């Protein structure tokens, strides 16, 4: 008889991944609220979010009551070369 516990089919994110998701959500929420001393916007910072975290960070933002959402494949319009 095997006494090992069955492995659940759904596994929660690893603690380091969960921490990353929480930190990204906190940062983006704070940037979305804004501060006169911070020049970076939530949209600009979201460009650095690893794409594999986007759905989970968006879920975390929703759970926190934040209306900001990261768009998959978001690119900055501020970095486009001038057409002059």
Render pLDDT for 2-45 as a digit per residue (tens, 0 to 9): 454 554 445 556 789 999 999 999 999 999 998 888 899 999 99
> Model pTM greater than 0.85?
no
Residue carrying structure tokens 């650095």: 48
Burial class (CB in 10 A: 0-12, 13-18, 19+), 8: exposed
Report phi then psi at 6, rounded to 5: -70, 140
How buried is 25 (Cβ within 10 angstroms: 0-12 exposed, 13-18 middle, 19+ buried)? buried
């Amino acid at each position: 008889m095997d006494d090992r516990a069955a492995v659940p089919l759904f596994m929660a994110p690893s603690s380091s991944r969960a921490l990353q998701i929480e930190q990204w959500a906190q940062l983006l929420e704070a940037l979305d609220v804004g501060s006169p001393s911070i020049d970076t916007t939530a949209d600009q910072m979201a460009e650095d979010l690893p794409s594999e975290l986007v759905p989970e960070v968006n879920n975390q933002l929703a759970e926190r009551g934040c209306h900001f959402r990261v768009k998959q494949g978001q690119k900055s319009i501020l970095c486009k070369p001038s057409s002059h």
